[in-house]
Structure 1
Amino acid sequence: METRTEFFNIYNHGFIRIAVGVPEVRVADPVYNAAQTVELMRQAAEQHTVLTVFPELGLSSYTCEDLFHQQALLEASGAALQTVCDASQAWSMVSVVGLPLEIDQQLFNCAAVIRQGRILGVVPKTFLPGYREFYEVRQFAPAANAHRDTVSLCGQHDIPFGEKLLFHIDGAPPWTFFVEICEDLWVPIPPSSFAALAGATVLLNLSASNVTIAKDAYRHSLVSNQSARCLAAYLYTAAGAGESTTDLAWDGHALVYENGSLLAESERFKPASQLITADLDIERLIQERLRMNTFGQSIQLYRHELTAFRHIDVPLVTPTADRIMPDRIYDRFPYVPSDPSQRNSRCYEAYNIQVQGLAKRLQSATIDKVVIGVSGGLDSTHALIVSARAMDLLGYPRTHILA
Structure 2
Amino acid sequence: MPDSRPFHVPATHGFVRVVAATPVVHPADPVANAAEHITLIRRAAEQGADLIVFPELSLSGYAIDDLHMQEALLDEVDRQIEILTAVADDAGLVAVIGAPVRSGDALFNCAVVIGGGEVLGVVPKTYLPNYREYYEKRWFAPAPARTEDSVVLNGETVDFAPGLIFEAVNRPGFVFAVEICEDFWAPQPPSTRAALAGARILLNLSASNIVIGKADERAMLSASQSSRTISAYVFTASGWGESTTDLAWDGQATIHELGARLAEGERFALTSHLTVADIDVDRIGLDRLRNGTFAECVRSEGEAATVIPFAARENATAPTSLRRPLDRFPFVPDDPARLDQDCFEAFNIQVQGLMRRMTATGARTLVIGVSGGLDSTQALLVACRAFDRLDLPRSAIRAYTMPGFATSEGTRANAWALMNALGVTGEEIDIRPAATTMLRDIGHPFADGQPVHDVTFENVQAGLRTDYLFRLANQTGGFVLGTGDLSELALGWCTYGVGDHMSHYNVNGGVAKTLIRHLIRWVADRELVGAEAVSTLHAVLETEISPELVPAGADGKLQSTEATVGPYALNDFFLFYISRFGLKPSKVAYLALQAWGDASRGEWPVNTPEAEKVAYDLATIKHWLRKFLLRFFQTSQFKRSALPNGPKVVTGGSLSPRGDWRAPSDASARVWLDELEANVPDA
Taking structure 1 as the reference length, what is the TM-score of the superposition? 0.96
1:40: Cα distance to partner? Answer: 0.3
Gaps of 5+ in 2: 400-683
- Cα distance in 2, alignment partners of residues 340 and 5 from structure 1: 38
- Provide the TM-score with structure 2 as the length reference: 0.57
The within-5 A match list for 1:94-173 is 94-156=94-156, 158-173=157-172
State the Cα distance separating 1:168 from its structure 2 match.
0.8
> What is the identity, as a one-letter code, of the residue corresponding to 1:363?
T
Partner letter of residue 367 of structure 2?
V
> Which structure: larger Rg?
2
> 1:323: how far off?
5.8
Counterparts of 1:64 and 1:79, CA distance in 2: 19
Aligned to 2:412: none
What's the offset of the Cα at 1:139? 1.1
Which secondary structure state, in structure 2, belongs to the residue aligned with residue 168 of structure 1? Answer: strand
- Structure 1 389/125 Cα, relative in aligned 2: closer, same or farther at 3 Å? same
Q: Given residue 131 of structure 2, which amino acid in structure 1 is its aligned partner?
A: Y
Map of 1:328 onto structure 2: 324
Matched, 1:365 2:361: yes
Please give the secondary structure, in 1, of the residue aligned with 2:369: coil
Post-superposition Cα deviations, 1:90-141, rounded to whole Å, max 9, x if no partner, equal: 1221000001112111110011000132001001000000111111111111
Q: Decide which of 390, 395, 399 is 1:399's aligned counterpart.
A: 395
Residue number in structure 1 paired with 2:346: 350
Question: 5 Å matches for 1:2-401?
Answer: 4-156=4-156, 158-303=157-302, 306-307=303-304, 309-319=305-315, 322=318, 324-401=320-397
Percent of aligned pairs with the same amino acid: 47
Counterpart contact for 2:196–2:297, Cα < 8 Å: yes
The amino acid across from 1:386 in the alignment is V
Structure 2 Cα separation of the partners of residues 368 and 54 of structure 1: 64
User: Greater share of helix residues, 1 or 2?
Assistant: 2
Three-state SS of the structure 1 residue aligned to 2:179 is strand
Higher deviation after alignment, 162-171 or 176-185: 162-171
* CA shift in 2, pair 1:323/1:256, >3 Å: closer
Query: SS where residue 163 of structure 1 aligns?
Result: coil
Gap regions ≥5 residues in structure 1? none
Looking at structure 2, the residues matched to 189 and 277 of structure 1 have their Cα atoms a distance apart, in angstroms, of 28
> CA offsets per residue over residues 275-294 of structure 1, 9 Å max, x none?
11101111100000011100
Find the residue that maps to 2:52 and give its secondary structure. strand
Q: SS at 1:126's partner residue?
A: coil
Distance 1:22 1:206 in 2: 10
Q: Tell me the distance in 2 between the aligned counterparts of 1:54 and 1:390.
A: 54
CA–CA distance in 1 between the matches of 2:35 and 2:359? 71
Quote the Cα distance in structure 1 between the aligned partners of 2:269 and 2:249.
10
After TM superposition, give the deviation of residue 330 of structure 1 in Å: 0.8
Q: Which runs of 4+ in 1 moved over 6 A?
A: none
Q: Which amino acid is 1:159 matched to?
A: V
Comparing 41-50 with 316-325, greater Cα deviation is found at: 316-325
Whether contact under 8 Å (1:4, 1:320) holds in the other structure is no
Change (3 A) 1:341 1:328: closer
Structure 1 residues 286 and 71 mapped into 2: Cα distance closer, same or farther (>3 Å)?
same
Aligned residues between the structures: 399
Structure 1 residues 324 and 173, CA gap change in structure 2 (3 angstroms): farther
Shift in Å at residue 173 of structure 1? 3.2
Q: Give the letter for the 2:225 counterpart.
A: Q
Letter in 1 for 2:117: G
2:240 alignment partner AA: A
Q: State the Cα distance separating 1:397 from its structure 2 match.
A: 1.5
SS in 2 for 1:372: strand
2:112/2:122 contact within 8 Å kept:
yes
Deviation at 1:238, TM superposition (A): 0.2
Check 1:102–1:323 CA distance in 2 against 1; reply closer, same or farther (3 A cut): closer
Write the deviation string for residues 298-333 of structure 1: whole angstroms up to 9, x where unpaired.
Answer: 011114xx12x1111112234499563322231122
Q: Which has the higher contact order (CA 8 A, sep 6+)?
A: 1
Deviation at 1:151, TM superposition (A): 1.2
The letter of the residue matching 1:317 is R
Deviation track 1:351-371 (CA, whole Å, cap 9, x = no partner) reads: 100001111111222211011
Alpha-carbon shift at residue 386 of structure 1 (Å): 1.0
Of residues 341-350 and 323-332 in structure 1, the stretch that sits farther from structure 2 once superposed is 323-332
* Contact 1:92–1:116 (CA under 8 A) maintained in structure 2: yes
After TM superposition, the structure 1 stretch with the greater mean CA deviation from structure 2, 36-45 or 334-343, is: 334-343
Deviations 1:132-185 (A, max 9, x none): 1111111111000000111111222x2111112111112233321101000001
Contact persistence 1:22–1:240 (CA under 8 A): yes
- Deviations 1:72-93 (CA, angstroms, capped at 9, x unpaired): 1111211221221232231221
- Contact 1:5 1:320 survives alignment (8 Å): no
Change over 3 Å in CA distance of 1:334–1:78 after alignment to 2? same
Give CA deviations for 1:203-262 in whole Å, capped at 9, x if unaligned: 010000111101111111000000000000111100001001111110000010001000
Mapped partners of 1:280, 1:97: distance in 2: 20
Give distance in 1, aligned partners of 2:319 and 2:237: 32
Contact 1:11/1:320 (<8 A) preserved: no
- CA drift of 1:391 comes to 1.1
